[in-house]
Amino acid sequence: MLRLGSREFGPHEPVVMAIVNRTPDSFYDQGATFLDEPALARVEQAVAQGADIIDIGGVKAGPGEEVTAEEEARRVVPFVAEVRHRHPDVVISVDTWRHEVGAAACEAGADLLNDAWGGVDPKLAEVAAHYKRGLVCTHAGGAQPRTRPHRTTYEDVMADILRVTLGLAERAAALGVPRESILIDPGHDFGKNTRHSLEATRRLTEMTETGWPVLVSLSNKDFVGETLDKPVKERLLGTLATTAISAWLGAQVYRVHEVTETREILDMVTAIAGHRPPTVARRGLA
């Protein structure tokens, strides 16, 4: 059972995490939700489309202008408070590697800290433990925040993913983060080239069989773009194909830009797997 905020999710229940970037330079939307009004509209839309989690980030993953912890908090924390006020039951996640931002976000109502940079600030897990909030434990290959991989090599990429994410998850649990609120993430594109991310997807069952719920952040990423030679705005089909494979292999949480399309893919895969009935059943019954 996965517990996040006031929500509980069964082991075969797919969970959609909608991305809301409070940045002026996001690789995908180029700042479309930097201002409060469009960002709140994005939240309303995502919830209406079936998102279970809203993931709020104040710093883009790639290189760019420096964003201090104070500026990141200014972009994120009041927005978390407003989303919590408007949507008391939605799970709110904050995408940050900084413990100062994580603590302020928890005070404002965040339920989950999405540490995409693999524990580079070990105090972030301590914050999650202190507030009894969830934590995403991600493999980033030892990369520093906001850097791109350069000639990264692994003897066995999945072995390294397991070593890092399981170590982070067990440390978090030992600190006091509720075990049922800890997720592991292979970290597609983070500290990896395209072949690494494809292999991580292909071998995802090695993560799902550990018993920890697995989060995948696949949406419109470079490994999809390079695999198909597609620019950012033409990666939806590749993303959805990867989503379907990941669902079949047992991933549970999906961090996405396109909520409606992802939900439909997940509902179909879950039905094929026998974990949900068809929405309607008329054929051959009349």
Provide the annotated active-site residues.
221, 255
DSSP letters for 142-194 = TPPTT----S---SSHHHHHHHHHHHHHHHHHHHT--GGGEEEE--TTTT--H
Q: Which residues of 56-92 are buried (b: 16+ CB within 10 A; e: fewer)?
A: bbbbbbeeeeebeeeebbbbbbebbbbbbeeeeebbb
What residues have CB less than 8 Å from 216, skipping those under 6 apart? 185, 186, 188, 201, 204, 243, 246, 251, 253, 254, 255
Rg, C-alpha atoms of the chain: 18
Q: Which residues of 119-135 are buried (b: 16+ CB within 10 A; e: fewer)?
A: bebeebbbbbbbbebbb
DSSP run (H or E) holding 15: strand 15-21
Displacement of CA 173 from its chain's centroid (Å) = 19
Q: What are the strands, taking DSSP E only, across 37-162?
A: 53-57, 91-95, 112-115, 134-138
CB 243 within 8 A of CB 237: no
